[in-house]
Amino acid sequence: MMATAVPATANVFGRAIVMPNLQPPVVDAEQAVAYYDRLKGCLADNSQFEPLMTLYLTDQTTPEMIKAAAASGVVKACKLYPANATTNSAHGVTDVAGLNDTFAEMEKQGILLLVHGEVTDHDIDVFDREKEFIERHMVHVVKANPNLKIVFEHITTADAVEFVLESSVNVAATITPQHLMYNRNDLLVGGVKPHNYCLPVLKRNTHQKALQKAVASGSSKFFLGTDSAPHLKSAKESSCGCAGCYSAPAALELYAHIFDQLGCLDKLEGFASHYGADFYGLPRNTDTVTLVNEAWPMPEQVTVGDEPLVPFFAGQIINWKVQ
């Protein structure tokens, strides 16, 4: 899987935030460095691609572990998964407030907090879980840690857009191709479409339009975050299909496609290349890629070993292509 997904990302992007929800998860600096080395081993010798590593927060993550992560030189952020909120999140956080000392050390060390923002209570509707997480947790984490840089990952609702816009300069958000291009009709109408199933789940079109308005505004608080998640066809098309859309083979092209449809292609460079780097305190890339207005079909599948994997937007026409 790594031999397929890593080059697909490195082909276009200069770097990527690497999420830590492996099995077992990447919970400390030593594991992050080992994962970094494995990723670099999947690249051509002349590749300049840089994986930016993250730690998986658990209830047992300590300030000392954050200090070690910062000292490693490869860990840029920690990811907060509420326990059982998404794929491979069983070891996630059950008590957000219990990590206050850890958040304080992250703030001190310049380690960012990346948040999968959903509650997991069974009695909370799956379409309301992001909104509930904002009210129950995000408001308090931001207030308690005003200088901690926080990325609200893969936001899906108008509520999240409003929260980010009303928060300080230390709060930003990423938006995926699938949440810009699709709403829950594209998941449920005419039969369930498992390759469009992701978490947070696609929402109603009013929320989709709020995300589109956010990126079209050109606000530096919103930037590219694919949440690209490669899962084999057999794992997606099963009685308990796993969550995640694999957009890596054409991520930049997919964003160009939707930005063009929204009439805001002039906002793509900031969204894709400037705002994220600036928020992370990283230098902007100086190399460029060229997108051309050329239609081409996303492959129906890619092969991982001898098994098929269906990418996001499979078989459909994308109007832009990296030259």
Residue 91 is assigned to a ligand binding site: no
- Is residue 170 part of an annotated ligand binding site? no
Of 6, 12, 50, nearest to 290 (Cα)?
A: 12
Helices 2-10 and 29-40, axial angle in degrees (round to 10): 80
Beta strands in the chain (DSSP E): 15-18, 50-56, 75-80, 112-115, 150-152, 171-175, 222-224, 291-292, 296-297, 302-304, 307-309, 317-318, 321-322
Partners of 75 in the β-ladder: 53
Catalytic residue flag (residue 227): yes
The reply, when asked if residue 11 is annotated as ligand binding, is no
Cis peptide leading into residue 24 (ω within 30°): yes
Cα angle 97, 80, 173 (rounded to 5 degrees) comes to 110
Q: What DSSP designation does 241 have?
A: P
Tokens encoding 144: 């308690």
| Residue 154, marked binder | yes
Residue 179 marked ligand-binding: no
Contact assessment for residue 87 and residue 50, using Cβ atoms and an 8 Å cutoff: no
Residue 227 assigned as binding residue: yes
Q: Is 231 labelled as part of a ligand binding site?
A: yes
| Structure tokens, 265 | 């292609």
Q: Which of 227, 260, 287, 306 is catalytic?
A: 227
Angle between helices 63-72 and 29-40 (to 10 degrees): 30
One-character DSSP codes across 242-293 = PP----GGGHHHHHHHHHHHTT-GGGHHIIIIIHHHHHHTPPPP-----EE-
Q: Is 116 a known ligand-binding residue?
A: yes
Residues placed in the known binding site: 21, 79, 116, 154, 199, 227, 231, 243
Residues placed in the known binding site for Zn(2+): 79, 116, 154, 227
Active-site residues: which are they?
A: 227
Residues placed in the known binding site for substrate: 21, 116, 199, 231, 243
